[in-house]
Amino acid sequence: MAKFLALMILLSFWGSFISGQKPGLDAPYRIHTLFSVECQNYFDWQTVGFMHSFKKAQQPGPVTRLLSCTKEEKKNYKGMDLAPTLEVPSMSKHPKTGDWYPAINKPAGIVHWLKHSKDAQNVDWVVILDADMILRGPIIPWELGAEKGRPVAAYYGYLVGCDNILAKLHTKHPELCNKVGGLLAMHIDDLRVLAPLWLSKTEEVREDRAHWATNITGDIYGKGWISEMYGYSFGAAEAGLRHKINDDLMIYPGYTPRPGVEPILLHYGLPFSVGNWSFSKLDHHEDGIVYECGRFFPEPPYPREVKLMESDPNKRRGLFLSIECINTMNEGLLLQHARNGCPKPKWSKYLSFLKSKTFAELTQPKLLTPHRIQTEVAEEGKEINEAIRQYPKIHTLFSTECTPYFDWQTVGFMHSFHLSGQSGNITRLLSCTDEDLKEYKGHDLAPTHYVPSMSLHPLTGDWYPAINKPAAVVHWLNHVNIDAEYIVILDADMILRGPITPWEFKAARGRPVSTPYEYLIGCDNELAKLHTRHPEACDKVGGVIIMHIDDLREFALLWLLKTEEVRADKAHYATNITGDIYQSGWISEMYGYSFGAAELKLRHHISSEILIYPGYVPEPGVNYRVFHYGLEFKVGNWSFDKANWREVDLVNRCWATFPDPPDPSTLEQADENLLQRDLLSIECVKTLNEALRLHHKRRNCPDPTTLSDPKLDTIKDVTSSRKFGRFAGNDDMRSNPVPRNHSQESSLPKVADRLFSTLRFWIILLWVFSGLGFMLVMLVVFSGYKGKGSSKGKSNKNRRRSYTGFLKMNIGDRQTRKSEVSL
């Protein structure tokens, strides 16, 4: 009897193994995982990483790679054995329209699988993923809350077409359009209904070229590349599927996870970095790394190095996720090379780490617990059960315009956002005219919501760009489905140094948080009495705003209206009333905020520990979360003023950065307060420069050693701008109403020294030739004395005159060159 029981247990074990289910993770229902690829090296290395992580994560059930190939591609294809595969006819080039759109292979492959695979007849639940993903734990649909008719999906907030005319054009049920993608878990019966709709709606959106514009689709290229994503959302709406949206299961490496959340899926679709190391999948588009023995992706820092890089535990956790992603892919490549028959690679510290017990423990499967299953139900307003959610969701906003000036600020802002550990999503509110949008190049700099420009007021004709900030917030609130509970509103000319959270700074419903703006003296005089019924509730605040979404919905329109009202009140522009040194109403938007909040009696928690201006002396022991570089600041002879870079395109010129600030080791140590002030100033510009360098690297700029000095080009631009008056006084005041000290001290010492060094070389060379010439002439003169005796005719005088003229010419040339250097 004991032998019989042992035999039954063994048979049960092998049955679960053969079916793809792991002991201890038996599923009460049948699961099948799908992912779609093409016959390219690019997808082969992704397949190796995906399959390796699939096995490590102990995902239940079988997996199928949907491989879309043309007959020509298949002839030379080497990767048929990389995964269990179903070959699918390629639709990259549409058989009817001839349209080239490889992304359509995903829904086409699923339709083909449903029709031709026996596995599709023997399954209850289907998990659909992308090839550029790494699984960290099993994805079990019913544990995520999936039900028949209610699939689970990840949130794709940039699918703005669900909120506008696009959804109305392409589905009879735009109210059911969910902005989802990435991870999909659904019942097989739902997939049978959805799949053909997914395909047909993809074709439909792809053909709708009239609505490819970025402001309609959110597609940064405006080329219809995300038509397949809309095909899914519109097809699901047509099928009546209402998603449960989970924003915690999947994370992009490089992002910081929310506190208490352990993602089980890494989607490396975007570039990411850890210290000086970085990875972008696009850098390996043609990479045959799967078939090149001993080749791996560049090794990331080791865990112990990451621990030293970052003290904040949550940000450090984000860095660990990034290195785990690439290490898992390299581990998969190591095993695949062995299967390919490659010789055993030479020992290295890194390969030893990949084989170590430490790495095995770090990458053990992450199992879901009830406290981590935080699902939002779309049709119920995406409300999350407060009992199981540790922190409220946050969404960060910042406002910009379609100019190079705001683009370099955006690059710095976004880089600091990812480093800061700020949780939640972020949106750039981009205010542009239609003409500006046609020429604009910076669509991909940040997740963006496009807003009609109000710089030139449509009714009054008043030119006031600052009004775009409240106007954009109003537009965003009225055109986007928002799932966050708290909104953080910042300015583009800010650098984040740490997370800004409502729970830390005690924001609450009716009690927003902000930073002090003491120069808003209008809160204390007749200006407040004229423009709000509750002048006693006027708070002198701005810069950083943390506000509950319900308060913002009530407040935003008042902010806009009060801005228009104060702007129109020209009789009270005087400095002694507003504090505006230009007496031109440039800070009307700030008063619009304070007066609008007073109307609703929103009383702020005012914190002076969130924001600091570089150049100001910090309070001892305060960990400021934001740099606001709106004012000029200096460190010794070096200085930085953002207004000097208004017309300079630092984003689209390869390797262009700001002049490096002084080395911290050169600072005076005598006064601790001044030292800390200067260290913060240096940190601000170093962060901006690091952001620009990474941006240029992502843009695949050529090797900087082969180019002329980009900083030199930048100097020429700044200099010529000043020469030809492009830094007009009115323009300065329009976007920077804060008083500035226009210092003549150069903020470009490093490049000036380099330029001077080059000219000094030529000047020295010229002196050498002059000296040689002098010696030659003197030799000829003395030879004449010896050879001709006392003959001292006109010829000798002429020689001396000629030589004197030569000297004068050289001196004049040197003076001219020196004057050029001084420019």
**577-603 pLDDT, tens per residue?**
999 998 999 999 999 999 999 999 999
Confidence of residue 772 (pLDDT cuts 50, 70, 90): confident
Return the pLDDT at 63. 97
- Check: CB of residue 745 under 8 Å from CB of residue 634: yes
Mean pLDDT calculated for residue range 25-50: 90
Residue 752 has pLDDT above 70, yes or no: no
Give residue 480's Cα distance to chain centre. 20
Residue 453 has pLDDT above 90, yes or no: yes
Residue with more model confidence, 356 or 774:
356
**713-728 pLDDT, tens per residue?**
444 444 333 333 333 3
What is the distance between the alpha carbons of residues 118 and 311, in angstroms, rounded to a whole number?
52
Q: Which residues pair with 35 in a beta bridge?
A: 65, 129
Return the pLDDT at 391. 77
**666-691 pLDDT, tens per residue?**
999 899 999 999 999 999 999 999 99
- Indicate the pTM of the whole model: 0.58
DSSP calls for 88-132: EE--SB-TTT--B-GGGHHHHHHHHHHHH-GGGGS-SEEEEEESS
CA max distance for the chain: 137
Return the pLDDT at 424. 87
Amino acid at residue number 727: F
Q: Which residues pair with 508 in a beta bridge?
A: 511
- Check: CB of residue 480 under 8 Å from CB of residue 573: no
Q: Can you read off the two tokens belonging to residue 567?
A: 């702007």
DSSP calls for 579-644: --TT-SSTTHHHHHHHHHHHHTT-PPEE-SSSEE-TTSPPPTT----EEE--S-EEETTEEE-GGG
**183-239 pLDDT, tens per residue?**
999 999 999 999 999 999 999 999 999 999 888 998 877 889 999 999 999 999 999
Residue 574 has pLDDT above 70, yes or no: yes
Average per-residue pLDDT for the chain: 84
User: 84-88, 743-747, 809-813: which has the minimum mean pLDDT?
Assistant: 743-747
Highest-confidence segment of 44-48, 92-96, 315-319, 767-771:
44-48
Please state whether beta strands 448-452 and 425-432 pair in parallel, antiparallel, or not at all (unpaired).
parallel
Mean pLDDT calculated for residue range 64-81: 95
User: 144-148, 311-315, 781-785, 814-818: which has the minimum mean pLDDT?
Assistant: 814-818
Return the pLDDT at 822. 36
- Check: CB of residue 546 under 8 Å from CB of residue 511: no
Mean pLDDT calculated for residue range 326-349: 96
Residue 390 has pLDDT above 60, yes or no: no
- Check: CB of residue 413 under 8 Å from CB of residue 449: no
SS3 682: helix
**776-794 pLDDT, tens per residue?**
766 665 565 444 444 444 4
Q: Can you read off the two tokens belonging to residue 289?
A: 């790394």
Confidence of residue 247 (pLDDT cuts 50, 70, 90): confident
What is the distance between the alpha carbons of residues 491 and 466, in angstroms, rounded to a whole number?
11
Into which CATH architecture does domain 389-612 fall? Alpha-Beta Complex (3.90)
The strands making up 244-245's β-sheet, listed across from edge to edge, are 85-89, 63-69, 31-38, 125-130, 180-187, 152-155, 244-245, 376-377
CB-based burial, 426-438: b 16+ in 10 Å, e otherwise: bbbbbbbeeeebe
- Check: CB of residue 166 under 8 Å from CB of residue 212: no
Residue 400 has pLDDT above 60, yes or no: yes
- Check: CB of residue 821 under 8 Å from CB of residue 759: yes
Which parts of 133-197 are beta strand (E)? 133-135, 152-155, 180-187
**543-572 pLDDT, tens per residue?**
999 999 999 999 999 999 999 999 999 999
Please state whether beta strands 31-38 and 125-130 pair in parallel, antiparallel, or not at all (unpaired).
parallel
What is the distance between the alpha carbons of residues 173 and 171, in angstroms, rounded to a whole number?
5
Residue 12 has pLDDT above 60, yes or no: no
Return the pLDDT at 655. 95
Confidence of residue 608 (pLDDT cuts 50, 70, 90): very high
Residue 823 has pLDDT above 60, yes or no: no
What is the distance between the alpha carbons of residues 726 and 713, in angstroms, rounded to a whole number?
17
Rg (CA), the chain: 32
Share of the chain above pLDDT 90, in %: 72
Please state whether beta strands 180-187 and 244-245 pair in parallel, antiparallel, or not at all (unpaired).
unpaired
Entry field: residues in the chain: 823
Residue 365 per-residue DSSP state:
-
- Residue 304: is it exposed, middle or buried by C-beta count within 10 angstroms (0-12/13-18/19+)? exposed
Alpha carbon of 722 to those of 33, 520, 655: distances in Å? 61, 32, 23
Torsion sign over Cα 784, 789, 790, 793: negative
CATH number of 28-251: 3.30.70, 3.40.50, 1.10.10, 3.90.550?
A: 3.90.550
Residue 159 has pLDDT above 90, yes or no: yes
What is the distance between the alpha carbons of residues 382 and 811, in angstroms, rounded to a whole number?
78
Return the pLDDT at 375. 47
Amino acid at residue number 756: F
Return the pLDDT at 791. 42
- φ/ψ of 449, rounded to 5, equals -115, 125
